[in-house]
């Protein structure tokens, strides 16, 4: 299994925890079954093991380079993405009529999880292509779909997301790239973009850039931004590749990790010859992009969870093999596997709690996407949408933060070896550090959660999540196990405190937004830990009746209960001081003047 994922755990999450088989009751997935899901996951695992994982280190050691004419990427990358595309994973969720697998999003995420755990940098090309394709699928004209979407779904064209500009960073309101209408109905695109992953390479016949730009006369700020298709090579109405568009590689960016993915600075229209096609209506670009962005954010969380997960499996393997030290003080006693040392078990248990919890959370978000789209009633769909919106900032950031923490612990378990490039874990740590930054930094997510999500629709999302949590608490009390009942009591308390803290902050924000929002990052972290405690109690509830099973099966469930216990004893209590801090409306950060640093 190449230490990518514990298949037993993945099945547990999908079938026992999330009960994804129930999705087959929706007409869209009626042809599917646990067998077809398993088959897709099995294919993903096979490709990940054969094509993705083996070149992970090589991708890191052989960063893409530009020779003045072309960007060179090691050939294994193309082989891997070709296998991914040929197996149908770019079009995994598309209609069967379109050559897709018509898989639920949740199951698709399970497959993507495997690729990300195996080689996150290679997966990025595929993910970006899928994301760009989705934008065209959702908002493009039939003609744009014919020319661009079809070759993207088969992996012949790759896609990118082109948002960031050097001067604007997270502040998309300040996008300055211009799109001037031309007589032929296209737009002349002009501007500089930065941090464009997959922005240039020779891996595909074409690259379809999805570019945010401003049409002259557009309103200022985020409401004046439009979305354009800007292909690297022009495509005529018959789908034939034409001349190169005026998109110039201004430079490659050299990153700490994720090195297998080209990261570029691109200049559009340096020679006034860059043609773009408007997608959908003018000025609605950011709205469109944000629909994808939410999926992208779940995807970032998933990648972070999986980097943590594979790191954990590597550390676990090492801890079982590595002999060092002894249990007592007798120097004649033979050395023991380091997993016998309590502090090593602590580090493994923390990793297990972080990464299995994070994966379950991300797949739960995937399930909400499916429900939001395909559930039977309006009400169910609405509820799924509200929950998904609420949780997205947490799904993006919690795994990113605690995934890195898990990777750091994986290094620590390896000792000095973990710090070397001869072992895999140091790369996971470097790769994972990106995830708190891209697709909206954690700071941006925190403002989104507290400033928008929890106060949306008069607090309906918060109440909905509270209801889900209360059901879990009730179930845990119902099984009459002293430990689960205690977990339930702690979760219930934590939730009450969260609601009260939210109320206090909401009141403060109504009077002085900055005062309420100043400590939003703490709120995000606290909320995330509470959600994660809920995820762990849900897992414990499933595991509890099977805790006495024999052998490996019973071990698996006892492990789940052990990790849940760890989370409730070690992690959830950390939210206590966070509530105190937040409710005090602490002004330490606000009052610290620039000159005082």
545 in contact with a copy of itself (CB under 8 A): no
Of 63, 277, 426, 439, the catalytic one is 439
Per DSSP, 461 falls in state H
Choose, by CB under 8 A, the member of 411, 462, 498, 532 that binds a copy of itself.
411
In whole angstroms, the minimum distance from the beta carbon of 478 to a copy of itself comes to 24
348 in contact with a copy of itself (CB under 8 A): yes
Count of CB atoms situated within 10 Å of the CB of 74: 16
At residue 51, the 3 state secondary structure works out as: helix
Q: What is the dihedral of CA 494, 497, 502, 507, to 10 degrees?
A: 180
Q: Which is nearer to a copy of itself, 106 or 488 (CB)?
A: 488
Q: Which of 135, 83, 71, 78 is nearest to 111 (CA)?
A: 83
Q: Choose the binding region for a copy of itself from 171-179, 236-244, 358-366, 503-511 (rule: CB under 8 A).
A: 171-179
DSSP 543-590: HGGGTT--HHHHHHHHHHHHHHHHIIIIIGGGHHHHHHHHHTT--HHH
List Cβ neighbours of 84 (8 Å cut-off, separation of 6 or more): 47, 51, 52, 90, 115, 123, 126, 155
Choose, by CB under 8 A, the member of 19, 98, 167, 512 that binds a copy of itself.
167
Q: Which is nearer to a copy of itself, 26 or 419 (CB)?
A: 419
Q: Which two tokens stand for residue 341?
A: 């040392």
294 in contact with a copy of itself (CB under 8 A): no
Count of CB atoms situated within 10 Å of the CB of 457: 12
Choose, by CB under 8 A, the member of 277, 383, 389, 436 that binds a copy of itself.
436
Measured in residues, the chain has a length of: 597
337 in contact with a copy of itself (CB under 8 A): yes
Choose, by CB under 8 A, the member of 99, 181, 242, 335 that binds a copy of itself.
335
Q: Which is nearer to a copy of itself, 332 or 458 (CB)?
A: 332
546 in contact with a copy of itself (CB under 8 A): no
429 in contact with a copy of itself (CB under 8 A): yes
446 in contact with a copy of itself (CB under 8 A): yes
Q: Choose the binding region for a copy of itself from 144-152, 273-281, 342-350, 488-496 (rule: CB under 8 A).
A: 342-350
* Distance, CA of 311 to CA of 558 (rounded, Å): 22
| 439 in active site | yes
474 in contact with a copy of itself (CB under 8 A): no
332 in contact with a copy of itself (CB under 8 A): yes
* Distance, CA of 365 to CA of 388 (rounded, Å): 6
Asked if residue 272 lies in contact with residue 372, where contact means CB atoms within 8 angstroms, the answer is: no
Largest distance between two CA atoms of the chain = 87
Residue count, binding to a copy of itself (CB under 8 A): 100
548 in contact with a copy of itself (CB under 8 A): no
Q: Which is nearer to a copy of itself, 340 or 477 (CB)?
A: 340
Q: Choose the binding region for a copy of itself from 38-46, 278-286, 467-475, 569-577 (rule: CB under 8 A).
A: 569-577
Choose, by CB under 8 A, the member of 169, 181, 478, 507 that binds a copy of itself.
169
Choose, by CB under 8 A, the member of 38, 168, 248, 464 that binds a copy of itself.
168
Q: Which two tokens stand for residue 458?
A: 């008069």
DSSP 171-198: -GGG---EEEE-TTS-EEEEEEEEEEET
595 in contact with a copy of itself (CB under 8 A): yes
List Cβ neighbours of 103 (8 Å cut-off, separation of 6 or more): 29, 32, 37, 40, 92, 93, 111
510 in contact with a copy of itself (CB under 8 A): no
Binding to a copy of itself in span 32-91, by CB under 8 A: none
Choose, by CB under 8 A, the member of 305, 517, 526, 531 that binds a copy of itself.
517
Give the contact letters, 357-386, x = binds to a copy of itself (CB under 8 A), - = no.
------------------------------
217 in contact with a copy of itself (CB under 8 A): no
Q: Which two tokens stand for residue 272?
A: 């006034």
Choose, by CB under 8 A, the member of 345, 385, 546, 583 that binds a copy of itself.
345
Q: Which is nearer to a copy of itself, 369 or 518 (CB)?
A: 518
Q: Residue 65: phi, psi to the nearest 5? A: -135, 155
Count of CB atoms situated within 10 Å of the CB of 48: 28
Choose, by CB under 8 A, the member of 1, 170, 176, 457 that binds a copy of itself.
170
Q: Which is nearer to a copy of itself, 254 or 467 (CB)?
A: 254
* Distance, CA of 160 to CA of 157 (rounded, Å): 10
In whole angstroms, the minimum distance from the beta carbon of 310 to a copy of itself comes to 15
Choose, by CB under 8 A, the member of 54, 273, 282, 443 that binds a copy of itself.
443
Rounded to 5°, the CA angle 257-294-531 comes to 85
Rounded to 5°, the CA angle 136-90-193 comes to 55
In whole angstroms, the minimum distance from the beta carbon of 32 to a copy of itself comes to 32
Q: Which of 167, 57, 482, 494 is nearest to 502 (CA)?
A: 494
Q: Which of 303, 265, 310 is nearest to 438 (CA)?
A: 303
DSSP 67-81: -SS-EE--HHHHHHH
Catalytically active residues, by annotation: 439
């Amino acid at each position: 299994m190449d230490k990518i994922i514990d298949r037993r755990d993945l099945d547990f999450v999908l079938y026992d925890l999330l009960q994804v088989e129930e999705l087959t009751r929706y007409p869209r997935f009626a042809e599917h079954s646990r067998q077809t899901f398993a088959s897709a996951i099995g294919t993903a695992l096979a490709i990940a093991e054969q094509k993705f994982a083996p070149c992970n280190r090589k991708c890191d050691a052989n960063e893409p380079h530009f020779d003045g004419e072309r960007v060179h990427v090691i050939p294994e990358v193309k082989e891997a993405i070709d296998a991914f595309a040929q197996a149908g994973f770019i079009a995994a969720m598309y209609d069967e009529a379109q050559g897709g697998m018509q898989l639920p999003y949740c199951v698709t995420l399970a497959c993507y999880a495997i690729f990300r755990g195996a080689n996150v940098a290679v997966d990025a090309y595929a993910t970006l292509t899928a994301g760009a394709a989705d934008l065209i699928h959702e908002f493009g004209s039939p003609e744009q779909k014919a020319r661009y979407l079809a070759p993207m779904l088969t992996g012949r064209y790759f896609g990118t997301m082109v948002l960031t500009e050097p001067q604007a960073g997270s502040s998309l309101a300040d996008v300055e790239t211009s799109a001037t209408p031309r007589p032929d109905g296209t737009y002349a695109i002009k501007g500089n973009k930065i941090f464009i992953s997959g922005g240039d390479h020779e891996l595909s016949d074409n690259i379809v850039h999805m570019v945010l730009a401003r049409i002259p006369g557009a309103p200022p700020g985020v409401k004046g931004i439009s979305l354009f298709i800007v292909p690297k090579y022009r495509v005529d109405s018959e789908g034939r590749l034409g001349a190169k568009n005026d998109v110039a590689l201004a430079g490659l960016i050299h990153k700490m990790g994720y090195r297998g993915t080209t990261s570029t600075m691109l200049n559009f229209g340096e020679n006034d010859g860059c043609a773009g096609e408007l997608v959908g209506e003018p000025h609605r670009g950011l709205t469109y992009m944000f629909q994808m962005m939410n999926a992208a954010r779940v995807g970032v969380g998933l990648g972070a969870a999986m980097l943590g997960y594979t790191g954990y499996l590597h550390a676990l393997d090492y801890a079982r093999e590595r002999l060092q030290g002894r249990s007592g003080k007798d120097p004649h006693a033979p050395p023991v596997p380091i997993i016998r040392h309590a502090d090593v078990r602590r580090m493994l248990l923390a990793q297990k709690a972080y990464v299995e919890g994070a994966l379950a959370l991300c797949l739960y978000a995937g399930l909400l996407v499916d429900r939001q789209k395909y559930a039977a009633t309006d009400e169910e769909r609405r509820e799924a949408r509200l929950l998904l919106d609420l949780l997205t900032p947490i799904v993006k950031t919690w795994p990113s933060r605690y995934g890195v923490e898990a990777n750091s612990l994986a290094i620590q378990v390896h000792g000095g070896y973990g710090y070397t490039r001869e072992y895999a874990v140091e790369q996971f740590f470097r790769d994972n550090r990106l995830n708190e930054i891209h697709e909206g930094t954690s700071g941006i997510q925190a403002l989104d959660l507290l400033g928008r999500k929890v106060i949306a629709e008069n607090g309906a999302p918060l109440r909905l999540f509270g209801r889900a949590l209360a059901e879990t608490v009730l179930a845990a009390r119902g099984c009459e196990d002293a430990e689960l009942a205690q977990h339930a009591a702690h979760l219930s308390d934590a939730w009450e405190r969260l609601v009260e803290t939210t109320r206090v902050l909401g009141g403060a924000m109504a009077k002085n937004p900055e005062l309420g929002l100043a400590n939003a990052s703490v709120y995000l972290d606290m909320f995330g830990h509470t959600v994660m405690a809920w995820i762990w109690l849900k897992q414990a509830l499933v595991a509890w009746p099977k805790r006495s099973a024999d052998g490996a099966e019973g071990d698996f469930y006892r492990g789940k209960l052990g990790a849940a216990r760890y989370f409730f004893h070690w992690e959830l209590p950390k939210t206590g001081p966070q509530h105190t801090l937040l409710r005090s409306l602490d002004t330490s950060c606000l009052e610290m003047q620039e000159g005082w640093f």
